[in-house]
Structure 1
Amino acid sequence: MMENALLIILLDVILLVFLLMMSIPLPVCFLGALMFLSAFGNVSMKTMLVWVFSQSTGTVLLASPLFILAGTYMGGSGIAKRLLDCADSFIGHIKSGLGTVAIVVCAVMGAISGSGFTGVAATGPIMIPRMEEQGYERGYATALVTVSSVLGLLIPPSVVMIMFGWVTETSILACFLSTLGPGLLITALFIVIHVIWSKKFDLKVLEKKPVDEYLKNVGSKTFKAIPALIMPLIILGGIYGGVFTATEAAAVSAIYAIPVGIWVYKACTIKGFLQMTKEASSTIGSIMVMIVCCLMLSRVFTIYRVPSLVLDLLMGITTNKYLLLFIIDIFLFLVGMIVNDTTGVLICAPLLMPVMTQLGVSPVHFAAIMGVNLAMGGVTPPYASILYLGMRIGKAEFHEILKPTMTFLILGYVPVVFLTTYIPDLALAIPRMCGFSV
């Protein structure tokens, strides 16, 4: 009986991977896998739907669509542009300053929206042409903005960490803080790589202005950016100050962007916001269907005792903790290459949690390990959804962005993945400073 169940699960996973590799929409892939289980695995879809409904009625799950909505509003309300102008006024006259601005603003935009897509969608159309005018190659500018947008999955609040905390019943705030250290370290490494790389370009940098003129320009741009700067203060200050939950902060930020875009920056009309709401709703609908299917699939895996089988399999390979963590890193990276980060968390977190518990890895540390691994998949083919979006926005070919993208990943991202895995304090120091016992 157990052998038949394992065979069905194996065939179902093979079917799922095949459908994903065929570039079929994610919700359809998971529906296909579930229909296979229903037909051949004696799985009651009615029972699964009732269970999923009971699991998805809480307010935590609302944070994900609300952050997506807030991120969509940010791009069309002028908030992103004002943040760019403000940062550019400080260091734009430095040779590598414009690229550094792109890295920092993409990280900030991701922190506001909790999504890597927002960084590309909001800053790419503004920043990439501006960098090209200054002398950067279009492929490099596109790659820089694209890989920097991945920081949005690590700098809190993060939709991925909301999903992880929800699935594993771990403190969401502690999960947020666990990826902050790795995210800041990756940001610093990206800046160092950019400063070195930018020396090969013949950049047209504006002459440094006199101190009084420089301060006047900085003051002017900062003043205009105050409404935009209030948004991250609302989200981050509200969450960390205990004023808002992550869900409430997402809702407030989405509402806040509307009057700022219409009456303060006058960058959009009410009709424009309705159109953005329609676009965001389409994205949210697709994601929610995918979440429901992932939950049902992970529930089936639990019924068939797949997590314990994975534990036995890995422990059968080796009992060395560090080698097992290396294998898990590679596994999560490969998962990130074929599905998006949210899907990876919903499927892999329940599967691997028993393994991590057996190895003595805390759930908060596991959150950071999973976050840094899966985020990298967003810019690593064949899935690479963030990379492909960046290519479309930057109007760059794959061969143009391949070398700089791989350079940033190999030199700036991969080292942090392993540091996060093998040095727990990188992930746990900030949560401990904030009073979490991890």
Structure 2
Amino acid sequence: MLFVFLGVLFAGIIVGIPIVFSMAAANLIMLVIMDFPIVSYAQKLFNGMDSFALLAVPFYMFVGEIMNRGGIAKRLMVFSDALVGHIKGGLGHVNILSSMFFGGISGSAIADTAAIGGLLIPTMEEEGYEPAYSAAVTASSSVIGIIIPPSIPFILYGVTTSTSISRMFIGGIIPGILVGFTLMFITLLTVGKHKVDLHGGEKRKFEFGKVWSAFKDAWSALIVPFIIVVGILAGVFTATEAGVVAAIVALVLGLFVFKELKIKDLPKILFNTSKTTASVLFLCGNASVTAYLLTLAQVPQELAMMFSTLSDNPLVIIIVANILLLLVGFVMDITPAILILGPVLLPVMTKFGVDPVFWGVIMCINLGIGLITPPVGTVLFVATGVAGIKMEELVKAIIPFFIGMVALLVVLIIFPQIITFLPNLVLPIK
């Protein structure tokens, strides 16, 4: 049954049918083959969308839209520049650190690329960086947005696999920071051919006064991820309710503190948020139907048996599964990949004793790498549009960053405690 689903899905994608409709067609064909009434498709579709946890998705998307327009991204960039702009490759590090701060508020890689890229790519080009390199730094660092909490992919994984979203959020903190440091290290290694010793026309040095001044302007934005994490840890609100808090804070900052967001901007922001949310929810609904049918067809059990024939070593199973996910990331966007493969692969992993939170974080990081790989890497398309370059130029420039992220993924697989330490410490399973 899995091959029927995948065959119809990829056939639809190849001929240009949007993936959500290809998925719907595959579900309907499976229903017919399994002799189920067609009405059950509608029932399971709406059940898949009827989730309290999914309410977080539109709120975090709303936050991303607000940050693009409300002056928040610009202040985060200025603060990042004060902190790391003096280092060799300064604007590259500023780009990455800005993405770390931005990701702690929006949870979206695409929003990160559009906001940070729109501000920094032109600036980097003016300072002597090649356009392709500037876009490569922006695109690769945007992946941090789906790892550092909050994270929309973490929410989707948690909903489809019944895994604690709060534990997922906490589990993403250390890996997200490590991704940022890894990309900064790659920047130091690769930035040599660019004219980066000059910044703003003069040699740069670290100045505490400039850091303090930038912090005073940006602290209200920086406090948002702190509120989210501390609020979840203290039990004040759930990960879903944290989305509401983030949306309210971002709206207040944009309208009344920074005053760069206007009331007249809200209809377009709400429309964009609604449009994106609708597509995600339709995907969630169809993924719920897929998971239901594949479970009835005992596909997870068959996959577990297939993996068992390869090895009884959990590390080997995880590595094989990650190779599969890397390949999937080349041809499928992260949202449908998580929604389709999450419920299928997690039972296989738990059979081998793998922690669901560990696997969820690894899966999201792996598929996040797919956002910067052709031919369907959505972040690549956004970055090329912002930078005004060809796709092949960006792909060539992003290779070192891709290699660095894959190397970090291997480290996280070998040392799962890096991911599970914080969740087990602050939110132990009762």
Bin the TM-score by the shorter chain. over 0.9
Q: Any conservation in 2 of the 1:181–1:426 contact (CA below 8 Å)?
A: yes
* Whole-angstrom CA distance in 2 between matches of 1:73 and 1:147: 22
Residues 167/224 of structure 1: CA separation in 2 closer, same or farther (3 Å cut): same
Query: Are the aligned partners of 1:100 and 1:194 in contact in 2 as well (CA < 8 Å)?
Result: yes
Report the Cα distance in structure 1 between the residues aligned to 2:225 and 2:319, rounded to whole angstroms. Answer: 35
Partners of 2:62 and 2:273 within 8 A in 1? yes
Q: How does 1:113-262 map to 2 (within 5 A)?
A: 113-203=106-196, 204-206=198-200, 207-208=202-203, 214-262=207-255
Moved over 6 A (4+): none
Whether 1:428 and 2:420 are equivalent positions in the alignment is: yes
Range with bigger deviation, 232-241 or 156-165: 232-241
Question: What is the CA distance between 1:232 and its match in structure 2?
Answer: 2.4
| Amino-acid identity (%) | 32
**Structure 1 position 404 matched with structure 2 position 397:** yes
Moved more, 271-280 or 142-151: 271-280
> Which residue in 1 is equivalent to 2:55?
62
Alignment check: 8 A CA contact 1:164 1:345 kept: yes
Distance in 1 of aligned mates of 2:345 and 2:375:
23
State the shift of 1:39 in Å: 4.0
Residues 304-324 of structure 1 deviation map (CA, whole Å, 9 limit, x = unaligned):
111111112222334343332
Whether the 8 Å contact between 1:156 and 1:180 is mirrored in structure 2 is: yes
**1:333 has 2:337 as partner:** no
- Quick one: distance in 2 between partners of 1:35 and 1:55? 16
- Asked whether the 8 Å contact 1:179–1:371 carries over to 2, the reply is no
In 1: Cα distance, 2:45 partner to 2:265 partner:
35
CA separation in 2, counterparts of 1:148 and 1:314? 33
Shift in Å at residue 55 of structure 1?
Answer: 4.7
Task: Give the corresponding residue for 2:261.
Answer: 268
Match of 2:283 among 287, 290, 295: 290
Bigger shift: residues 150-159 or 48-57: 48-57
Cα distance in structure 2, aligned partners of 1:344 and 1:12: 13
Offset of 1:138 from its aligned partner?
Answer: 0.6
Provide closer, same or farther for how the CA distance between residues 195 and 325 of structure 1 changes in structure 2, counting only shifts above 3 A: same
Tell me the distance in 2 between the aligned counterparts of 1:195 and 1:157: 28
Bigger mean CA deviation after superposition, 168-177 or 302-311:
168-177
Task: Give the Cα–Cα distance (whole angstroms) in 2 for the partners of residues 368 and 249 of structure 1.
Answer: 19
How far apart are residue 128 of structure 1 and its match? 0.4
- In the TM superposition, residue 209 of structure 1 has moved relative to its aligned partner by 7.0
Secondary structure class of the residue paired with 1:199? coil
Residues 419 and 426 of structure 1 are in contact (CA less than 8 Å); yes or no, is this contact kept in structure 2?
no
Q: Kindly provide the amino acid, as one letter, of the partner of residue 426 in structure 1.
A: I
Going from structure 1 to structure 2, the CA distance change for 1:268 and 1:179 (only over 3 Å counts) comes to closer
Quote how far apart the aligned CAs of 1:129 are: 0.5
Distance in 1, matches of 2:36 and 2:53, equals: 28
Structure 2, gaps ≥5 residues long: none
Contact preservation (8 Å) 1:110, 1:118:
no
Paired with 1:366 and 1:215, the residues of 2 have a C-alpha distance of: 41
Report which stretch shifted further, 178-187 or 275-284: 178-187
Q: 1:392 aligns with which of 385, 390, 394?
A: 385
Aligned to 1:353: 346
- Relative distance call for 1:95 and 1:415 in structure 2 (3 A) is closer
Taking the aligned partners of 1:91 and 1:312, their CA distance within structure 2 comes to 50
Residue deviations 1:265-295 (CA, integer Å, cap 9, x gap): 2222111122111112111111111111111
Per-residue Cα deviation, 1:12-37 (whole angstroms, up to 9, x for no partner) = 31110122244432222212212322
Q: Which amino acid aligns with 2:29?
A: F
Equivalent residues, number:
428
CA distance in 2, matches of 1:358, 1:40: 29
Q: Report the more deviating stretch, 61-70 or 197-206.
A: 197-206
1:93 is paired with a residue whose SS is: coil
Whether 2:98 is the aligned partner of 1:105: answer yes
Please, what TM-score do these two structures have when normalized by structure 1? 0.92
Is the contact between residue 326 and residue 370 of structure 2 (CA under 8 Å) also seen in structure 1? Answer: yes
- How far apart in 1 are the matches of 2:26 and 2:48? 20
- Cα 1:270–1:366 change in 2 (3 A) is same
Question: Under a length normalisation based on structure 2, what TM-score does the superposition of the two structures give?
Answer: 0.93
- Residue in 2 that maps onto 1:3: none
Q: Would the aligned equivalents of 1:368 and 1:420 in 2 still touch at CA under 8 Å?
A: no
Q: For the structure 1 residues 167 and 93, does the alpha-carbon distance in structure 2 shift closer, same or farther, using more than 3 Å as the test?
A: same
Question: Could you say if the C-alpha distance between residues 298 and 148 of structure 1 is closer, same or farther in structure 2, counting changes exceeding 3 Å?
Answer: same
CA distance in 1, matches of 2:329, 2:320: 14
Judging changes above 3 Å, is the alpha-carbon distance between structure 1 residues 373 and 41 closer, same or farther for their aligned structure 2 residues? same
Q: Which residue of 2 aligns with 1:76?
A: 69
Report if the CA contact (8 A) 2:44-2:285 is conserved. no
CA displacement at 1:395 relative to structure 2? 1.3
Q: Deviations over 1:70-95 (max 9, x none)?
A: 11111111100111111212332333
1:417 aligns with 2:409: yes
The separation in 1 between residues aligned to 2:415 and 2:94, in whole angstroms, is: 29
Structure 1, gaps ≥5 residues long? 1-5
User: Structure 1: how far apart are the matches of 2:167 and 2:306?
Assistant: 30
Q: Residue 112 of structure 2 aligns to which amino acid in structure 1?
A: G
